[in-house]
A and B are shown apart, each in its own frame.
Chain A
Amino acid sequence: MTETSTTRSLVEIRSLVKAFGVLPVLRQLDLTIEKGEFVALLGPNGSGKSTLIRLLSGLSKPTAGTIHIGGWELPQEAAAVRAQIGLVSHRPLLYENLSARENLVFFSRLYNLPKDAANARIDDLLVRVGLGRRTGDMVRTFSRGMQQRLSIARALLHSPAVLLFDEPYTGLDQDAAAILDDLLTDTHAAGQTIIMVTHQLNQAAKLASRVVILSRGKIGYDAPTNGLDTLQLASIYTQTTSMATAKQ
């Protein structure tokens, strides 16, 4: 850990560049996120949102620039960073032929959680995500919404400092989306820092404490949501993304 870690924000991104070959996806991105914030990352397809999530989770390496999470630097201190993040993707990242409990037990072992503490945590999380009665059922028998809830339990298992969501509403019906809304609200209320990539402007306006709009690999808008409704956010989104397109 660097010496300045105690004074750092929870997530610090400085001059971040990510390019695939000669094609830059993120261009000199600067972003700071404090503990307890719920940041909604918006932007059109190809703006670099998912790339940013992959960089923050250590699945991808930056071309240039620095990323610090909890004072640890990526990719040099990747193992320490990985212990502090939880990822919920649009894919559930679960084993279909294992039960809900077996999936969580497997991941608790990978996170080196003590057995007794892990069992208690798994029981608690399964109840919290509304799967307390389906703990022994195979994941392949779960609906998409149930798989996504189990995926959140998996991501919360090791009590990460930062929870990353990459388009978690993909494929969810209205009821499942409403359950996910409640889960996200509760998780944020418990003090969890959340970064969520989404195309759902209503969810971003309703749940997030801050909105960041990415456009062509740069931050086009970054402000708290204070009282912002979906229509106002949609207007800001259109202005931000069309301005970036016009500049091209």
Chain B
Amino acid sequence: MKTPFFKAVLSIVRKDLRTELRSRELISSMGLFALLSILVFSFALELDRIARQEAISGVLWVTVVFASFLGLNRSLAMERDQGNLDAMLIAPIARTTIFFGKLVGNFLFTITVGLLLLPIMTVLYNVSLVQPLVLAVLFMGTFGFTTVGTLLATMTVQTRARENLLPIVMMPLALPLLLAAVKASTNLLTDSATEDWVAWVQILAMVDVVYLVMCYLLFEYVIEE
């Protein structure tokens, strides 16, 4: 009786991509915010090469995280404000398909902004960020952050102070993930020994898996009245 899981997820992702391609609401606000942030940081951090290498991963993650807050809030608010969440909830689909559909969309929007940042930051800070391992950490960190963000934005979007509430409830939960992502990318960019970054990448992967499973299990309770 239920619509197949992947068909429903894919439909939601396609719908999100199509509406975003038309309106460019999320990407433009996230991209503009990210661009302004790295410009401000580049003016403020006129440091020597080593200091820049150590600070740059912090700049990257602060920018990605705050741009992602904008996207997460807006993505769920669009569903809520037009009542479309109800329209999806009365369809014969598993509740978790809504979670995965929104998660994939949110991840794609955030990673697009992250990927745009890397070459711009490489030029601005004169530190090569376009490296396969840095890209892998960016993917893993962004995935974990948007996973927990999609769950929490579904909760906070139902409140009046949603824009303020999401960062407040999300930061403590996302802290282990951000710590691992920042440490892994800092160690990679400062050419530290392999054992210095491998452990952080392993922690990041583990936190991603734990958050994904937790959010999958909790989403049905969050979305219910």
- Closest CB in chain A relative to B49 CB, distance in Å: 46
- Which of chain A's residues 196-227 have a Cβ closer than 8 Å to chain B? none
**Which among A79, A91, A98 is the interface contact of B19 at CB below 8 angstroms?**
A98
- Closest CB in chain A relative to B88 CB, distance in Å: 7
Taking a contact as CB atoms under 8 Å apart, the answer to whether B1 and A110 are in contact is no
- Closest CB in chain B relative to A167 CB, distance in Å: 13
Taking a contact as CB atoms under 8 Å apart, the answer to whether B225 and A89 are in contact is no
Known: A106-B11, A109-B7, A112-B4. A95 touches B92 (CB 8 A): no
Question: A111 to B8, alpha carbons, bound, how many Å?
Answer: 9
Question: A54 to B93, alpha carbons, bound, how many Å?
Answer: 17
Q: Does A40 contact B (CB under 8 A)?
A: no
Contacts of B18 in A (CB 8 A): 97-98, 102
Most buried by A among B18, B87, B89, B93: B87
- Which of chain B's residues 49-90 have a Cβ closer than 8 Å to chain A? 82-84, 86-90
A99-113 vs B, CB cutoff 8 Å, 1 = contact: the mask equals 000100011011110
Contacts of B83 in A (CB 8 A): 89, 91-93
Q: Does A154 contact B (CB under 8 A)?
A: yes
Q: Does B160 contact A (CB under 8 A)?
A: no
Taking a contact as CB atoms under 8 Å apart, the answer to whether B82 and A96 are in contact is yes
Q: Does A58 contact B (CB under 8 A)?
A: yes
Please choose the segment from A80-88, A175-183, A239-247 that sits at the chain B interface, where 4 or more of its residues have CB less than 8 A away.
Answer: A80-88
Taking a contact as CB atoms under 8 Å apart, the answer to whether A93 and B1 are in contact is no
B1-32 vs A, CB cutoff 8 Å, 1 = contact: the mask equals 11110011001001100110011000000000
Question: A54 to B90, alpha carbons, bound, how many Å?
Answer: 10
Contacts of B15 in A (CB 8 A): 95, 98, 106
Q: Does A61 contact B (CB under 8 A)?
A: yes
- Closest CB in chain A relative to B113 CB, distance in Å: 20
- Closest CB in chain A relative to B164 CB, distance in Å: 25
Taking a contact as CB atoms under 8 Å apart, the answer to whether A59 and B86 are in contact is yes
- Closest CB in chain A relative to B46 CB, distance in Å: 42
Contacts of B7 in A (CB 8 A): 109, 112
Taking a contact as CB atoms under 8 Å apart, the answer to whether A80 and B19 are in contact is no
Taking a contact as CB atoms under 8 Å apart, the answer to whether A94 and B90 are in contact is no
Taking a contact as CB atoms under 8 Å apart, the answer to whether B11 and A110 are in contact is yes
Q: Does A15 contact B (CB under 8 A)?
A: no
**Which among B82, B89, B225 is the interface contact of A94 at CB below 8 angstroms?**
B82
Taking a contact as CB atoms under 8 Å apart, the answer to whether B2 and A58 are in contact is no
Known: A109-B8, A110-B91. A80 touches B82 (CB 8 A): no
- Which of chain B's residues 131-170 have a Cβ closer than 8 Å to chain A? none
Taking a contact as CB atoms under 8 Å apart, the answer to whether B3 and A112 are in contact is yes
Contacts of B93 in A (CB 8 A): 79, 110
Question: A44 to B108, alpha carbons, bound, how many Å?
Answer: 46
Closest partner residue, chain B, to A75 (CB atom):
B224
Taking a contact as CB atoms under 8 Å apart, the answer to whether A82 and B91 are in contact is yes
Q: Does A232 contact B (CB under 8 A)?
A: no
- Which of chain B's residues 88-103 have a Cβ closer than 8 Å to chain A? 88-94
Contacts of B8 in A (CB 8 A): 109-110
Taking a contact as CB atoms under 8 Å apart, the answer to whether A107 and B91 are in contact is yes
Contacts of B91 in A (CB 8 A): 82, 107, 110-111
Taking a contact as CB atoms under 8 Å apart, the answer to whether B90 and A57 are in contact is yes
Taking a contact as CB atoms under 8 Å apart, the answer to whether B3 and A110 are in contact is yes
Closest partner residue, chain A, to B25 (CB atom):
A97
Taking a contact as CB atoms under 8 Å apart, the answer to whether B225 and A60 are in contact is yes
5 closest A-B pairs by beta carbon, nearest first, are A91-B83, A93-B87, A112-B3, A109-B11, A110-B91
A–B pairs, 29, beta carbons within 8 Å? A54-B225, A58-B90, A59-B86, A59-B89, A61-B224, A79-B1, A80-B1, A80-B92, A82-B91, A82-B92, A83-B92, A91-B83, A94-B82, A94-B87, A95-B84, A96-B82, A98-B15, A98-B18, A98-B19, A109-B3, A110-B3, A110-B8, A110-B91, A110-B92, A111-B91, A112-B2, A112-B4, A112-B92, A138-B22
Known contacts A79-B92, A79-B93, A110-B92; 20 additional CB pairs below 8 A are: A54-B225, A58-B89, A58-B90, A61-B224, A61-B225, A79-B94, A80-B92, A83-B1, A91-B83, A93-B82, A95-B82, A98-B15, A106-B11, A106-B15, A107-B87, A109-B3, A110-B3, A110-B11, A110-B88, A154-B87
